[in-house]
């Protein structure tokens, strides 16, 4: 036995397990995506069990590509993921830098900041859409109502009354509508995932070298320059981690989309898979393969972009 054989042999069960873990589902998805396979069919009962004799070639892919929601779902997936990433990274950096200073009540503030992360996605969605974004009963409706009655009151006020009487009545935005449901999802997921970004950025900020900062101060760097040239590059790797992990998670958003609008005006690939999977497993699997490809493209693209901008 050569020196390498024994360690490899010892590792192999774990590696095999992982391979099986990954390859079996992927293989099954691939297999289903090339055959006709539906859950229920009165006319063609032979399609209801997976078998090679139902081979359809690229037919499922063609079907998915030509279905009316596919390109919309791809675009919308990317839109939602990128918006959430953008918002969480920016907010995460801002908050992390802010609470990295020592101040009284620091511990409590940090715990409170992290807490949204422990809320279950479905609960998060229900809370947001009913209690905050609801145009009548939610904070959204109450706030707009409050502004309206304030403006109403000011219309009769002396001196400034004429100004306010030109104001229209405000309408609360309904976030279940076709045009806005994606924004509702972006908001609630951003709220939930910003703590994750804060947590990671905060640990990274604490490992920042203070002497480098002092050297920069002596070199005449302003607070902004210190942030731009030292802190931000220092955060490069954590940002990449946050982006990558979140991209993977948010490409598969489902609960929020279901709860906000049942996919009305706001589908992503997993939601489309869910819709197909009501009956057409073949099409659902083909969509799944597209989703895997999309996830890889997005990840590679995002990492390149971050690498370029931050690492000078």
Partner 1 sequence: MGRIVLDKVSKKFGDVEVIPPLDLTIEDGEFAVFVGPSGCGKSTLLRMIAGLEDLTSGDIEIDGENVTQVPPSKRGLAMVFQSYALYPHMSVRKNIAFPLRMEGMPQAEIDKKVEAAAESLNLNDYLERKPAALSGGQRQRVAIGRAIVRNPSGFLFDEPLSNLDAALRVGMRLEISEMHERMQTTMIYVTHDQVEAMTMADKIVVLRAGVIEQVGSPLDLYRAPRNKFVAGFIGSPKMNFIEGEEAAKHGAHTIGVRPEHIEVSASSGAWKGVVSVSEHLGSDSFFHVHDTGLAETITVRAGGEVGFRHGDTIHLTPRDDVIHKFDSSGLRFE
Helix boundaries (H) for 34-120: 59-66, 70-99, 106-114
Give CA–CA dist 299/303, Å, rounded: 6
Minimum CB separation of residue 210 from partner 1 in Å reads: 9
Count of alpha carbons within 13 Å of 2, Cβ hemisphere only? 3
3-state secondary structure of 105: coil
Q: Given the rule CB under 8 A, which residues bind partner 1? A: 209, 211-212, 214-222, 225, 229-230, 233-234, 236, 311-312
Minimum CB separation of residue 114 from partner 1 in Å reads: 28
Q: Which is nearer to partner 1, 234 or 250 (CB)?
A: 234
Q: Which is nearer to partner 1, 142 or 221 (CB)?
A: 221
Sign of CA dihedral 177, 191, 233, 243: negative
Q: Which is nearer to partner 1, 52 or 218 (CB)?
A: 218
* 166, 60 contact by CB (below 8 A): no
Minimum CB separation of residue 21 from partner 1 in Å reads: 36
Burial of 236 (0-12, 13-18, 19+ CB in 10 A): middle
Residue-wise DSSP of 115-141:
GGGGS-HHHHHHHIIIIIS-TTTSHHH
Question: What φ, ψ does residue 176 adopt, rounded to 5°?
Answer: -95, 0
Minimum CB separation of residue 200 from partner 1 in Å reads: 18
Give CA–CA dist 240/221, Å, rounded: 26
Minimum CB separation of residue 98 from partner 1 in Å reads: 23
Q: Which is nearer to partner 1, 109 or 216 (CB)?
A: 216
Minimum CB separation of residue 105 from partner 1 in Å reads: 21
Q: Which is nearer to partner 1, 54 or 212 (CB)?
A: 212
Give CA–CA dist 281/275, Å, rounded: 10
Tokens of 162: 């004429």
Q: Which is nearer to partner 1, 114 or 216 (CB)?
A: 216
Cα separation of the two ends of the chain? 48
Q: Which is nearer to partner 1, 12 or 222 (CB)?
A: 222
CA 187 to chain centre: 10
- Could you tell me which of 125, 130, 113, 146 has the C-alpha nearest to residue 257? 125
* 117, 95 contact by CB (below 8 A): no
Q: Which is nearer to partner 1, 188 or 235 (CB)?
A: 235
Minimum CB separation of residue 240 from partner 1 in Å reads: 14
Minimum CB separation of residue 11 from partner 1 in Å reads: 31
H or E segment to which residue 194 belongs? helix 181-206
Q: Which is nearer to partner 1, 156 or 312 (CB)?
A: 312
């Amino acid at each position: 036995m050569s020196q390498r054989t024994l360690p490899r042999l010892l590792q192999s069960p774990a590696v095999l397990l992982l391979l099986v873990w990954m390859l079996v589902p992927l293989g099954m998805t691939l297999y289903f995506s090339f055959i006709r396979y539906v859950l229920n069919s009165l006319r063609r009962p032979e399609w209801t069990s997976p078998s090679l004799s139902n081979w359809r070639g690229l037919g499922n892919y063609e079907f998915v590509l030509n279905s009316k929601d596919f390109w919309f779902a791809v675009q919308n997936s990317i839109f939602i993921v990128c918006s959430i990433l953008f918002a969480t990274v920016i907010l995460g950096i801002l908050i992390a830098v802010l609470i990295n200073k020592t101040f009284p009540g620091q511990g409590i503030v940090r715990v409170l900041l992290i807490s949204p992360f422990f809320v279950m996605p479905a609960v998060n969605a229900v809370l947001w859409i009913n209690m905050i974004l609801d145009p009548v009963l939610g904070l959204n409706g109450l706030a707009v109502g409050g502004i309206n009655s304030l403006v109403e009151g000011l219309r009769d006020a002396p001196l400034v009354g004429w100004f306010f009487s030109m104001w229209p009545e405000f309408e609360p935005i309904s976030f279940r509508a076709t045009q806005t449901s994606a924004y509702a999802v972006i908001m609630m997921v951003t709220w939930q995932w910003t703590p994750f970004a804060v947590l990671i950025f905060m640990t990274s900020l604490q490992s920042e070298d203070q002497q480098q900062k002092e050297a920069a101060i002596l070199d005449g760097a302003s607070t902004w320059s210190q942030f731009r040239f030292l802190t931000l590059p220092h955060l490069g790797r954590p940002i990449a981690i946050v982006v990558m992990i979140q991209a993977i998670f948010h490409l598969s958003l489902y609960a929020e989309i279901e709860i906000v609008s049942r996919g009305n005006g706001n589908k992503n690939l997993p939601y489309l898979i869910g819709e197909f999977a009501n009956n057409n497993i073949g099409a659902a699997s083909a969509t799944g393969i597209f989703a895997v490809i999309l996830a890889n493209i997005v990840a590679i693209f995002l990492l390149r972009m971050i690498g370029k901008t931050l690492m000078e």
